[in-house]
Structure 1
Amino acid sequence: MTPPEIIYADSALLVVHKPAGLLSVPGKGPDKQDCLSRQVQQLYPEALVVHRLDMATSGLMLMARTPTVQQVLNQAFAARTIHKRYVAVVNGCLSAHTGHWQCIDLPIALDWPNRPRRVINLETGKPSQTRWQVLHTDTTRQQTRLLLEPITGRSHQLRVHLLAIGHAIVGDRLYAPEVVAFASERLLLHAHSLEFVHPLHGQTLRFESPVPF
């Protein structure tokens, strides 16, 4: 497995590329201790987690180097002033015009009998919004490449929202129908860009990671 790549480092924070198949933080059990946070801490022992990506998702993650910066960045995520965009390949051809933003606004709740799955639940779900636009439609493969912008940050939000509109992400072993789940060796979801205001000097930073699929 490719080790995490440090995209940017200064005295306050790190921007790291997480490969697909690597946990963001340790899981339960001895077989789930290898993860991005621990690998990064071998280089930067003080590094602190600010947010996570699903194990199957690749792309950019932000980490803090002091508790104070961690708190500021956590508050920025809560205030939705840190902007993340993803690229995904989904099953089926979407008819929306290329480059036009659309929005999925459906509440998400934990599916207790089938944890860790999430479901759309209009009564108990938490408000969840995802913006999306078509980048490219492949009529031969019957797939569409999308640019995604989560407004909220619910667990599995992108995967659940796209499934809800009938276009599961290709390679999604947790949510997609079997034929879609095994159409790729990996989940075709990548955290492509990250933009935020630096917590110390106030400058806007933007990073992009090439899409590996």
Structure 2
Amino acid sequence: MEWEINNESCGQRLDVFLQNQNKDKTRSHIKHWITNGDVLVNDKVVKAGYGLKVGDKVILKEIVEKVLSAKPQDIDVEIVYEDDDIAVVNKPQGMVVHPAISNYDGTLVNALMFKLDSLSSINGVIRPGIVHRLDKDTSGLLVVAKNDMAHVSLSEQISKKTCKRIYWALVEGIVKSDGEITTNIGRDPKNRLKMAVVDKGKVADTKYRVLETYSNYSLVEFELGTGRTHQIRVHSAYMHHPIVGDKLYNPNKCKFNLNGQLLHAKKLTLNHPRTGETMTFETQLPEYFQKVLNTIKTKKI
């Protein structure tokens, strides 16, 4: 496919222009095309943020899309609890929850398909069993539905806020008091990879409680009232207390050797889909998270 840029499209980012021309494709698809060299502007590979000019010739090469499907893979993941209806897993940092255009395998779903005897089918072949998600570099507890009955029940609990999800995060600066943030969150108009507090976004509610403060950091507990993309990370940055190690939302140079944000889904409370029993699960902080806490306690960084 080929386009010549006119006055109407002049000034648009390349990725935004392609999204408008290919509305059936996700942002991840578009980004994958560009980074893979399948999109040329004036016969050259450019970045996704390239600003289009009048007369530019944009060429999208013929692409044979790989059909996404999840396959079982023997990947180490901790199963905290399992019965005939649900499983609770402790997702490690760095693991993507389900396959996508840039991550065909090595995901939590691939691991679950190998380890569990069944998964719900409501979310299709790419996201079997997945009721809620954690960002790639967020670790911690995640509940999985092993059948459609459980999936419906868990989804309703999350929607009605009867499923409680508690996170711990180490943030920059001293958070002086407990509180609650309610804003609208939507796609950042300046950076499509990020979410932001925006007027026309979806309502997002986060409660927070200060657990401990250090010289320049605070250990904070967050409880989700809603489940917007990057919600805790966005709200922390909005408070001017971004999460330590967050490469997307923390502009400060990280003083620790980290692979991502120090954000851990520590506690999960739900009602069992079949019995109605209230069940609470809790995990320890990952070793790298605890190591940073020990460092700032002893060295007073």
TM-score (norm 1): 0.91
The residue that corresponds to 1:61 in the other structure is 142
- Which residue type is aligned with residue 115 of structure 2? L
Q: Is the 8 A contact 1:109 1:119 kept in 2?
A: yes
The residue that corresponds to 2:242 in the other structure is 168
Q: Select the residue among 194, 205, 228 that pairs with 1:117.
A: 194
CA drift of 1:151 comes to 0.6
Runs of 4+ with >4 A deviation: none
The residue that corresponds to 1:44 in the other structure is 116
The residue that corresponds to 1:76 in the other structure is 157
The residue that corresponds to 1:33 in the other structure is 105
Unaligned runs of 5+ in 1: none
Deviates more, 1:107-116 or 1:157-166: 107-116
Residue by residue over 1:107-146, the C-alpha shift from the partner in whole angstroms, topping out at 9 and shown as x without a partner, is 101125522310111x20111111001111111xx01000
The residue that corresponds to 1:207 in the other structure is 281
- Which residue type is aligned with residue 18 of structure 1? K
CA drift of 1:14 comes to 0.2
Q: Is the 8 A contact 1:3 1:19 kept in 2?
A: no
Aligned equivalents of 1:178 and 1:91: distance in 2? Answer: 9
The residue that corresponds to 2:180 in the other structure is 103
CA RMSD between the two structures: 1.5
Residue by residue over 1:57-109, the C-alpha shift from the partner in whole angstroms, topping out at 9 and shown as x without a partner, is 0000000111121111111111111000000000011122xxxx410111101
Aligned equivalents of 1:151 and 1:136: distance in 2? Answer: 22
Aligned equivalents of 1:198 and 1:21: distance in 2? Answer: 29
Q: What SS class does the counterpart of residue 128 from structure 1 fall into?
A: strand
Larger strand proportion, structure 1 or 2?
A: 1
The residue that corresponds to 2:251 in the other structure is 177
Aligned equivalents of 1:157 and 1:194: distance in 2? Answer: 17
The structure showing larger relative contact order (alpha-carbon pairs under 8 Å, at least 6 residues apart) is: 1
TM-score (norm 2): 0.65
